[in-house]
Amino acid sequence: MASSRANSDQSAPLMSQDGQPGTAVGFQQQGTVDWTRVMSGSVTFSVDVLSRLSKAGVEAFTIYAARAIFSNVKLGRNGEMRLHSALDKLSAFPSFGKALWFGFGVKHIIWSMQESAEGLNCLGICACLIEGYSTYAAAKIIRELFLLYNPPAELTPALRQWVALVETSGGLLASSEFGLVLHGLTKLCLMEDLPRLPSPGSPRDVAFVLKEIFEVSVGRLDRLFLSGGADCAWIAAVAHWLLDLRVEVQDENGTIVYRPDGRPTESLRVSRKHYLIAAGETLFDHSHGNQMSCGRVPWKTCLVDTFGSHMRLLLGSQARSTGACLGSAARIFLANLADGEGYTEFSLTPRSEQCFPPISESSYGRGFFVFACRLLPELGQNPVLHKAMEEALNTGLPDAAERFSQSYTSLSQLCPCMDCRPNAQETKGGTVFCLLTLILTICTLVRAMSTINMQRDLQLQPTRSGLESLYWSQAIAISREGGIEHDPVQGGLLGRWPVPILDLAQTLFAGRGHDKAPDHDIVTAVSHSGLCSYRNTLTEITSDPQRACVVTVVPGRIAWNDFIYDMVRDLEPESPTLVRGPGYDAVSMTNVTKYDDLADSSTPGLGAKLDIEEVFPEGNSLSVMYRVSTTAFPGRHFSIGASEIWQKLNSAFTAASCDGKTCGSINGFQSILVKGEGLLPMMSDWGRTPLPLTRVLSARDISVWVALSQSYIQPSAAFPDDLNKAQGQG
């Protein structure tokens, strides 16, 4: 899809002041603001710009106030080119019927802001903040930065307005190299091998140093010396990547440990200043929404970059045990999804998304093996590990389960964590990673990524904190299953799925989950921290689980009629009084033993559209439902939720494949043939008959969705109890 920037048709500045477009009256280029002149000035916004601001939740005055900050910084030439390159990649992607859009649409306020120097500066700094901090922490830093210019109270926007301003640029740099640069600097401040997520330092401290960096960028200050932790790493990344300043990182002995190329500032006015940013707390709680992302790690080295020497041990001296675990896991996943073998206890688990994993052909068997090595190249670098995976994959199920348990036991004897060695002394500095949990984390990561899709030119690298959060979620899931000591397969490998897929995608790529706790079973799209994740059933009608059960992640927000929203969920179904008659019931139900001449019995002319409503009192969420109807029966419809049908198709996925050419005839096997996708008709005994139901429906038609989603169709009070019991069994 073409860039939204190219199609925005926006060339006018965001606003004009005192009749002169782009004139910053009162915003002197000396690090101060003449608030008297600001208050006596006048500003003009076009109606189109005011509309865009309103739909983004940003007040026009907030944009004007922000100029006090961003007229005092100068982007470097390379930094400006990087920003424009990131803007060129942005786009928006439609839902079914183009009712919703995901990403940056042509009416997004970002296209108006990027037309002025101050607006571009604002986008760059705010986008960098979102890459490192939570939206709330970033907004507090911008507010403190504004307050450093001593504005009158009546000219100070509320914090919620700074949140809205920061959100306008969220995701702009998600697919750029800024996150990788940020991690390269942040890892110098972190203790390797310890799962410690740093929280931000004082917003005022960060803002004060950021203001001084602005002074360096415009040449009023020659150099700046900083001491601190992850906040200093973020400042250094902004200085290098966005402002083209020369950055050096020294250890406690003064030895230079990092010096990326950069352009030094030429003007000399102050020799140097030295500031200390006190580090925030280190967090062990993976669900803490305020932790820093620590930047992004490249897929090719993400395991070692995140989990340090513990992962090196698994990939190095313990490669054989690691490979045996992963290969056996692939074989067990295959058996669990194949008909006629596997762990039936797990298959009978209630199919809630919160306990059942997303499934694709790359989440089990050879597909898992191939995809794991492609996604995580570190797994394929050691031929011993690769060979052990291959050997375990090619075994039978009993052997695979035995290998997994034996390798697990072997690794537990080497693991330094307190769970595996309860009598061991706690490692200096805190908790260490568990080798066994790391194995399961790799399995979860591969299975999740097999169903996560990204758009071309908008490929994302995972965040360091996102991977650590996934590890902690896996550890919690293990503890809820009662541990893995007695049965590593059932208690660990086939245990509770740790995180619903939408939340997992957001956490992995944004560094943190949603700050609210939605009912994941009905959520079909979610947006925060500059990223948007949505189920493919919201964009396409297909009954192929391989295509339907996909989650797409893109930079940007959810838009409906150009208004911005944070979440889309299934609409609560209506309770209509349906009149019995053709179009709701299946055509017929008969016992059959011959299957050679069965034909598609879908109702012709079925159509669908999305019904969308705002959710109140929240205001930032949408409820969406497919309304299915046919011209043959005007006024009647089925209601289908995109999230529910996603889960039903995911639960229906099987590893068994058959194209009908190699299998023997099933003639002679008795079942009940149901013609049509409608409700099962009233019969006194069919619900008690232990015969399977057979329907022949078009895979390219919405009829399969209707058959799977009949729990939404409530019968009238006059319907007999037998029909009430029959619902949802199509």
216 and 275 Cβ atoms separated by less than 8 Å: no
Q: Is 666 domain-assigned?
A: no
27 class by beta-carbon count within 10 Å (0-12 exposed, 13-18 middle, 19+ buried): buried
Across the range 310-335, mean pLDDT stands at 95
Least confident of 355-359, 630-634, 712-716: 712-716
pLDDT tens track for 364-391: 999 999 999 999 999 999 999 999 999 9
Centroid of chain to Cα 42: 42
Q: Could you tell me the residue range of the domain that residue 121 belongs to?
A: 1-31+40-74+109-173
Q: What is the 3-state secondary structure (H, E, C) of 123-183?
A: HHHHHHHHHHCCHHHHHHHHHHHHHCCCCCHHHCCCHHHHHHHHHHCCCCCCCCCHHHHHH
User: Given this model, what pLDDT does residue 235 score?
Assistant: 93
Q: Is 634 domain-assigned?
A: no
pLDDT tens track for 478-511: 887 666 666 788 878 888 899 899 999 999 999 8
* Number of domains the chain contains: 2
Beta strands in 240-294 (DSSP E): 249-250, 256-258, 273-277, 282-283
Of all residues in the chain, the percent with pLDDT exceeding 70 is: 77
User: Given this model, what pLDDT does residue 654 score?
Assistant: 78
Which residues are CB-contacts of 619 (< 8 A; sequence separation ≥ 6)? Answer: none
560 and 100 Cβ atoms separated by less than 8 Å: yes
511 and 460 Cβ atoms separated by less than 8 Å: no
Which residues, in sequence order, are bridge partners of residue 585? 582, 679
**pLDDT surpasses 70 at 628:** yes
> Which of 458, 479, 513 marks a domain boundary?
513
300 and 219 Cβ atoms separated by less than 8 Å: no
How many Cα neighbours within 13 Å face the side chain of 431?
A: 18
**pLDDT surpasses 70 at 346:** no
Q: Is 308 domain-assigned?
A: yes
Q: What is the DSSP letter of 488?
A: I
The string of DSSP codes covering 363-400 is SSHHHHHHHHHHH-GGGGSSHHHHHHHHHHHTS-HHHH
Q: Is 590 domain-assigned?
A: no
Q: Is 498 domain-assigned?
A: yes
Which residues are CB-contacts of 326 (< 8 A; sequence separation ≥ 6)? Answer: 369, 372, 379, 385, 389, 392, 439, 442, 443
Across the range 451-463, mean pLDDT stands at 94
User: Given this model, what pLDDT does residue 283 score?
Assistant: 42
> Which of 142, 173, 204 marks a domain boundary?
173
**pLDDT surpasses 70 at 350:** no
> Which of 173, 194, 213 marks a domain boundary?
173
Q: Is 196 domain-assigned?
A: no
SS3 513: coil
Q: Is 456 domain-assigned?
A: yes
pLDDT tens track for 157-216: 999 999 999 999 999 999 999 999 999 988 887 766 666 667 888 999 999 999 999 999
Q: Is 1 domain-assigned?
A: yes
Which residues are CB-contacts of 620 (< 8 A; sequence separation ≥ 6)? Answer: 564, 565, 566, 567
pLDDT tens track for 244-277: 998 888 777 777 777 765 444 333 223 345 556 6
pLDDT tens track for 502-549: 999 999 999 887 766 556 678 999 999 999 999 999 999 988 888 899
Give the pTM: 0.87
Residue 322: C-alpha distances to residues 232, 328, 329, 374 (Å):
37, 10, 11, 17
User: Given this model, what pLDDT does residue 3 score?
Assistant: 54
